[in-house]
Amino acid sequence: MARDINLGRGLDQIFQPRSIAVIGASTDPSKTGGRPVHLLKKHGYAGAILPVNPKADEVQGLTAYASVADLPQVPDLALIAVPGAGALEAARACAERGVPAAIVLSAGFAEQGSEGAARQLELRAIADNSGMRVLGPNCLGTVSVPEKAIGTFSVALENEMPAQGPVAIVSQSGNVGSLAMKMLGRGGAGISRFIASGNECDVDIADAIAWMAGDAATRVILVCMETCRDAARLTLALDIARAAGKPVFVLKMGASDVGKAAAMSHTGGLAGADQVFDAVFARHGAVRVKSLEMLVQMGSAAAALGDRTVSANPSVSVIAASGGFGIMMADAAEEHGLTLNRTGDAAIEQIKAVLPLASAVNPVDATAQMSANPETFGALLSAVAGDNANEVVCIMMALGLEVPRLRDTYLAALDAARAAHPDQVFVACVAGPDDALQILNAKGILTFPTIDAMMEGVSHLGRLTAEKGKDAGGARDIATAPLDRGSVATEADAKRVLSAAGIGFPEEVVVTSADAAGQAADRLALPVAMKILSADIQHKSDIGGVELGIVGADDAAAAYARIMTAAATHAPDARIDGVLVAPMITGGTELIVGTTTDPIFGPVVMVGLGGIFAEVFRDTALQPAPVSLEDAQEMLRSLKCFALLDGARGRPRADVDAAAQAIVALSEFAARHADDVAEIDINPLLVRDQGLGAIALDALIIPHQTQTSEAAE
Amino acid sequence: MARDINLGRGLDQIFQPRSIAVIGASTDPSKTGGRPVHLLKKHGYAGAILPVNPKADEVQGLTAYASVADLPQVPDLALIAVPGAGALEAARACAERGVPAAIVLSAGFAEQGSEGAARQLELRAIADNSGMRVLGPNCLGTVSVPEKAIGTFSVALENEMPAQGPVAIVSQSGNVGSLAMKMLGRGGAGISRFIASGNECDVDIADAIAWMAGDAATRVILVCMETCRDAARLTLALDIARAAGKPVFVLKMGASDVGKAAAMSHTGGLAGADQVFDAVFARHGAVRVKSLEMLVQMGSAAAALGDRTVSANPSVSVIAASGGFGIMMADAAEEHGLTLNRTGDAAIEQIKAVLPLASAVNPVDATAQMSANPETFGALLSAVAGDNANEVVCIMMALGLEVPRLRDTYLAALDAARAAHPDQVFVACVAGPDDALQILNAKGILTFPTIDAMMEGVSHLGRLTAEKGKDAGGARDIATAPLDRGSVATEADAKRVLSAAGIGFPEEVVVTSADAAGQAADRLALPVAMKILSADIQHKSDIGGVELGIVGADDAAAAYARIMTAAATHAPDARIDGVLVAPMITGGTELIVGTTTDPIFGPVVMVGLGGIFAEVFRDTALQPAPVSLEDAQEMLRSLKCFALLDGARGRPRADVDAAAQAIVALSEFAARHADDVAEIDINPLLVRDQGLGAIALDALIIPHQTQTSEAAE
């Protein structure tokens, strides 16, 4: 059944309920069913708390009700903390009572075998049929810091609520999300909301992202995900967040490639499932990070950045009180692709005026002079921040804020510099103390605990800017159309349909006799390649079915005979349609272009370096199909081998536009025929000198193995 | 003047002085000259403290002396804290009095222009002439924790001495080293000694490493370096540490490539200066890390590891209380090249017995069951640790040690598991609290603050084992021999001498007329390549000086004429020695093999992928020359393109041994002629199918530009 794509519906009641029923409320505040009541009371939730417990009149000082039906009002939100089958019954009672939203904290569903999975399907049916939104099951629930609305039994709230701030956490895993919440509380920018979606029978992270995009308390969204259950919902949610100007950072777990063994084409073998996520996130404006620490740090950094932005390739100046740290910062900046600002003469003069022994050229080494005279720090900051070309000022604070003698002077200098240069971005490398970090973040000064994290973080902010401007759609939507799978079985078939789709192939002739082969070779004049044509033989060279560099009629006739003998020997059962005679076109760069079908995101187009090096260097770019011409050009530019296409080492510049057009055409073909086509290889696509086009020399289309496409479900 | 290579001489007096004179001792404990006296007293140094101050009878409660000459005894160590010229005078007085060692804390030397540099040369002369060891100048000095011997004015000691432990810090930069010292004190394994060597006029980090290798208080050595001033001393020191069984971890700053612009050969352009350090460290058993955080973490980890080792490719099991963390740990393990252990049936049964809901197969997900019943942790650990194939148990602790209810149970379970499985390595991913980390480290349980650091750290320990077994020498020492630079000017010359050195070249003929070219082509029968021969033309193709695929006498004669015309047009002033006619040999994998001269480490041999992809993918391996056959084979195996040589994609296996022998021969040639040869290119070296050898098709030797070699200085 198709899911409702009305993203975020009913999440007002989940995040901002005026009343919360706790079903399975326990009198013992340490128990799963007792803890939400305890936490709601402890942290001062202002709405009504309605415990449901058939065995008690009172729970933790509150009037308890025997059943959902007995509740004196319809609660906005029901927390369901009774196990397995009982949870299902409670959900049904809530739906009947007209409760708009429920959080099923209980485990015992799809994570526990087929019986649990059946139970989860029932839960989903309750949600679908009643319109009640259901978060979970098997989830850690929610925390809304501004309203103190707690829909969780998490021990993370035992001692204190997280500090309030503008960062929302949207996680599938409860444990990972709540560690992120804890970390952000410590010296971070603070939390607006937390949601852990567990098994996602109904409400998913797409709902949560879309809702956070419209939430006044949230300015930055952090996502921890293990999987995506619905591509369209996820990408729409990311588009909504981008349109709302809320940065999204994603930690996607499970980066090791899966399902690759099953791929049948070269493209399938080269395109990693995880790489598709990279492409999807980038296209929809979310910045992917590699660790929980970086996720949390980006939350605080983006919050501190506020309305400012850094450009896609920011100019960075580096300040340290030691040459060693300066070099390390410059190394890290270079490693993360940042441009080191060339310090201007005026700035150099100003620095030398206050710190005569300083090395005033970026990376600026203030020397021990600075810690001896901490009041010089302000003048130094001002000189660097005033430097015209500079966008980001990166400062190594080391233990500076832990030394009482230095702390207040340094904080005041940073504050003054920030006020005097409101558009500049100041970033401090400092690991503590937590209270000083919170002060800096609140003042709009970014902090990172290590040099490497600092430079990686600044480059992530640059990516955010680069992705912000992109068209969310990528390319126009393409309606699917059926393709007769039998009509694309041979190489000649594949070339014919792809040629009709706009991909250039050389003229070639199919022959079925040695004589005809000779005539064809004569007519084409160039050296020719001859290849066996059979739907039953996919790797033609392996069986001796390919002859190259054949010149003239006699040689062609002899080659024909050799090919037929080889086929008869090595593939005696293959049905042979003849031999393809094609001119050998040389002089160009070989790419491989292809498509594959991602189990989540559907057809995907890939381009990579062709030839024997493709698999060794895995120099590939990948995008969900269809792609726009601009996307295709960016795919090509992102290849390491792009320098070769772009005229490196005195080579002529290749026809990059023609290659990009071929990628677009192929991506549109794959999107149009997504229901029938599983994988396509064009290998090689020969990209010739500028103006001479890109010519496909071989093509293979692999249909889906089943008659109705699995991938379309 | 050649430096004394008697490493570590006199450092007993620096690290374990029985008496310390402080020259320039101030009555004000906050001043540079007052602070050492203050710190020595405060932290309870047991030896004699002898302040020298011409203006005071007493300094901070101690009898002061007017001059070095007036001291009542010859101190083991003098701390010199008077500025510039005064420091020189003080050093001279110490040398005259027979003081065995001095630390010049004062700045105003080579770091400050030519006047300072001259002063530093004088200081070095004092050290050389007297035999007094001098540390510094412009250095942060030393700390010996066991003896409370303090030779620094560092504010890092203001509040407390670092916790005592087995880790020594050897740093050139004072600031970087002292931050490392501070970090190791916090939840780390603790410090034995600290030394910051500053300008290194005499004592250098090699002295310090060698001395620490013999120091009973030190078990692990951490090195922070910006540069190496003497390759032989550094590599000898690393060999000494390896022989003593003391792991060395190095943070080398300045990773960005320098000096590349000046390179004249392809090899020079491909070989990064920083890559040479990687090769040198690996050969001499030091593990290089990329950040200060990782350096410090490896210090604690290696200390906790003690006498145990992990194998070069350890089998790792992962335990988390959440599926999300389990996946992240498995991802990180894979990324760092670790092998995930296949959980055995017995272990699975044991895990299921205590945690029925757990996912018992690596990565083990203990689920929330574990935090609800923390006493199950011990049984879980025991089951995983008892699994036969498993070497390292990696445990995600997250905030576990910060929850009072869990902390003691978890610590006790780890302790018991460690006792029951003394050979297993237990690693906890936990960021705090510091006191719990110290307890774990002391018990021999490794800790890392993040998942990524944990897996990177385990892989570093594996590298340590891999490097431990290597031969420090690499290859036999080779005496240098002169080479007539004029005798290697042309391609034919280069081929002749390299052929004599054992590198295979095809038969080829030098011709000086069109007729002779025709005869040569006839005789060689194969298609031939023809190349202009001139010492004045290095990039022959660029001027039309190369013709390929020439068949037969007529074509060869015509090609000769074209080449001569091209040379006359594009290089009219070049002296032409003729044209080289060589058979075109195809069918093999093209490598580039070459040598270059590293300014610090001398001749270096490089191998990389040849052809147009070499510069795009920078797939190269590099070693100081000469290399052994084993080194050369390892260089080849480390290339990404090695799969192509090794028979990937159905290709025949290439003659890897022949390629390795060519690398060895070239490296020995470069080492032998290091005084005269700057760079060599063999491009391409065609590696043919196994048994058919490796044939060099082109060769270029570039001599040093000056008559007496600069590099040998």
Query: Is A226 in contact with B256 (Cβ distance < 8 A)?
Result: no
Residues whose CB is less than 8 angstroms from the CB of residue B547 and which lie 6 or more positions away in sequence, other chains included:
B529, B530, B531, B559, B562, B563
On chain B, the residues whose CB falls within 8 A of the CB of A253 are: 324, 327-328, 331
**Most B CBs within 10 Å, among A30, A205, A253, to test the B interface:** A253
Bridge partner residues of A531 (DSSP): A546, A580
Among B504, B521, B460, B73, CA closest to B287: B460
Cα separation, B591 vs B609, in Å, equals 5
Q: Which among A179, A226, A641 has the least Cβ separation from residue B327?
A: A226
User: Beta strand pairing status for B141-144 and B149-151?
Assistant: antiparallel
Pairing of strands A315-320, A364-365: parallel
CB contact under 8 A, A173 and B542: no
Q: Which residues of B touch A328 (CB under 8 A)?
A: 176, 253, 291-292
Contact A254 B450 (CB under 8 A): no
How confident is the model over A607-635, as a mean pLDDT?
88
**DSSP-assigned states of every residue in A435-469:** HHHHHHHHTT-EEESSHHHHHHHHHHHHHHHHHHT
**Entry pTM:** 0.90
Diameter of chain B measured on Cα atoms: 101
Are the Cβ atoms of B253 and A328 closer than 8 angstroms? yes
Query: Is A175's CB within 8 Å of B256's CB?
Result: no
Q: Which residues contact A634 (CB under 8 A, 6 or more apart)?
A: A621
For chain A, the first-to-last Cα distance in angstroms comes to 9
Residue spans in chain B of domains classed CATH 3.40.50.261: 309-468
DSSP string, B371-439: HHSTTHHHHHHHHHHT-TT--EEEEE-TTGGGSHHHHHHHHHHHHHHHHH-TTSEEEEE----HHHHHH
Strand partners, A528: A550, A583
Q: Where in chain B is the domain with CATH 3.40.50.720?
A: 11-255+290-302
CATH topology of domain B507-583: Dna Ligase; domain 1 (3.30.1490)
Quickly count: other Cβ atoms within 10 Å of residue A178's Cβ: 25
Length of chain B: 713
Contact residues on chain B for A619, CB-CB shorter than 8 A: 617
Higher pLDDT, B687 or A477: B687
Residues across chain A: 713
Q: Which of B328, B334, B613 has its CB closest to that of A613?
A: B613
pLDDT at A419 over 70: yes
Q: Which of A616, A636, A683 to probe by mutation at the B interface, max B CB count within 10 Å?
A: A616
Instruction: Tell me: pLDDT of B708 over 80.
Output: no
Strand partners, A620: A608
Q: Are B574 and B534 in contact (CB under 8 A)?
A: yes
Kindly report, residue by residue over A636-683, the tens digit of the pLDDT: 999 988 988 988 767 789 999 999 999 999 999 999 999 999 999 999
Residues in chain A closer than 8 A to B255 (CB atoms): 331, 335
List the one residue out of A238, A215, A246 whose CA is nearest residue A146: A215
Please give the CATH number for the structural domain made up of B309-468.
3.40.50.261
Residue limits of CATH 3.30.1490.20 in chain A: 510-582
> How would you write A212-278 as a 3-class SS string?
HHCCCCCCEEEEEECCCCCHHHHHHHHHHHHHCCCCEEEEECCCCCCCHHHCCCHHHHHCCHHHHHH
Is B51 within 8 Å of B60 (Cβ atoms)?
A: yes
Is-contact A602 A711, C-beta < 8 A?
yes
- Judge whether A80 and A105 are in contact, CB under 8 Å: yes
Report the b/e string of A69-100 with b at 16+ CB within 10 A. Answer: eebeeebbbbbbbbebeebbebbbbbbebebb
Question: Is pLDDT of B262 > 50?
Answer: no
- Distance, in Å, from the CA atom of B66 to the CA atom of B57, rounded to the nearest integer, reads 8
Say if residues B604 and B595 touch (Cβ distance below 8 Å). yes
User: Does the beta-carbon distance from A254 to B331 stay under 8 Å?
Assistant: yes
Cross-chain Cβ contact B616/A450 below 8 Å: no
Distance between CA atoms of B667 and B604, rounded to whole angstroms? 7
Out of A136-150, A534-548, B568-582, B660-674, least confident range: A534-548
Coil, helix or strand for B103?
Answer: strand
Helix locations, B591-648, DSSP H: 613-617, 629-638, 642-645
**Exposure on the CB side of residue B708, measured as CA atoms within 13 A:** 2
CATH 3.30.1490.20 correct for A510-582? yes
Q: What are phi and psi of A220, to 5 degrees?
A: -135, 140
Res A487 pLDDT > 90: no
Tokens of A493: 């078939």
- For the ranges A667-671, B305-309, B384-388, which has the lowest average pLDDT? B384-388
A197 pLDDT higher than 50: yes
Distance CA B61, CA B626 (A): 60
Q: What is the mean pLDDT of residues B148-172?
A: 92
Confidence of residue B652 (pLDDT cuts 50, 70, 90): confident
Q: Provide the pLDDT for residue A709.
A: 42
Could you give the CA distance from residue B641 to residue A617 in angstroms, rounded to a whole number? 8
Report how far residue A451's alpha carbon sits from residue A326's, in angstroms, rounded to the nearest whole number.
10
Where would I find the H helices in B469-513?
A: 491-500
Give start and end residues of each alpha helix (H) in B77-220. 84-97, 113-130, 174-185, 205-213
pLDDT at residue number A83: 83
Compute φ and ψ for B21, nearest 5 degrees. -90, 140
Q: Are B578 and B679 in contact (CB under 8 A)?
A: no
Would the CB atoms of B452 and A291 count as touching at under 8 Å? yes
Contact A323 B226 (CB under 8 A): yes
A671 or A537, greater pLDDT: A671
Helix axes A376-385, A345-354, angle to 10 degrees: 180
Q: Are A585 and A558 in contact (CB under 8 A)?
A: no
Per-residue model confidence (pLDDT) at position A398: 86
Q: Which residue ranges does chain A devote to CATH 3.40.50.261?
A: 312-468
Residue A424 in tokens: 């500049």
Please identify, in words, the CATH class of the domain defined by B11-255+290-302. Answer: alpha beta
Q: Cβ contact (<8 Å) for A643 and B616?
A: yes
Q: Output the CA torsion B285→B288→B292→B298 (10° steps).
A: -50
Amino acid occupying residue B376: T
What CA–CA distance (Å, rounded) separates B336 from B321? 22
pLDDT tens profile A460-482: 999 999 888 776 555 567 888 99
**A534 vs A710: which has the higher pLDDT:** A534
- Beta strands at B141-144 and B191-196: parallel, antiparallel or unpaired: antiparallel
Chain A residue closest in CA terms to B324: A173
Give, in order, the Cα–Cα distances in Å from B12 to each of B100, B101, B149, B169.
Answer: 10, 9, 11, 16
Strand partners of residue A104: A80
- Picking from A356-370, A430-444, A544-558, B305-319, which range would have the lowest pLDDT averaged per residue? A356-370
Q: Which of A146, A173, A156 is nearest to A253 (CA)?
A: A173
Residue bearing tokens 């996307």? A631
Confidence of residue B539 (pLDDT cuts 50, 70, 90): confident
pLDDT tens for A127-185 read: 999 999 999 999 999 999 999 999 999 878 878 899 999 999 999 999 999 999 999 98
Gap from A329 CA to chain B (nearest CA, Å): 9
Mean pLDDT of the region B427-442: 93
Bigger pLDDT: A243 vs A266: A243
Q: Give the residue carrying structure tokens 């942290």.
A: A43
Say if domain B589-703 classifies as CATH 3.30.470.20.
yes
| CB nearest A331 (choices: B155, B253, B323) | B253
CA distances from A699 to A608, A636, A674, B422 (A): 15, 20, 17, 59
Report the CATH number of the A312-468 domain. 3.40.50.261
Quick one: what percent of chain B has pLDDT higher than 90? 68
Q: Which two tokens stand for residue B180?
A: 């490392």
**Predicted confidence (pLDDT) at residue A307 exceeds the cutoff of 80:** yes
DSSP state of A27: S
Closest to A336 in 3D by CA, of A471, A460, A507: A460
Which one of A139, A318, A328, A434 makes the best mutation probe of the B interface by having the most chain B beta carbons within 10 Å?
Answer: A328
**pLDDT class of A10 with cuts at 50, 70, 90:** very high
Hey, are the CB atoms on A256 and B291 less than 8 Å from each other?
Answer: no
Distance, in Å, from the CA atom of B147 to the CA atom of B44, rounded to the nearest integer, reads 9
Q: Residues spanned by CATH 3.30.470.20 within chain B?
A: 589-703
At residue A473, what are phi and psi to the nearest 5 degrees?
-75, -30
How big is the A-B interface in CB pairs under 8 Å?
A: 142
Mean pLDDT, residues B119-137 taken together: 96
Whether residue B350 contacts residue B305, with contact meaning beta carbons closer than 8 Å, is answered with no
Contact indicator for A478, A550 with CB cutoff of 8 Å: no
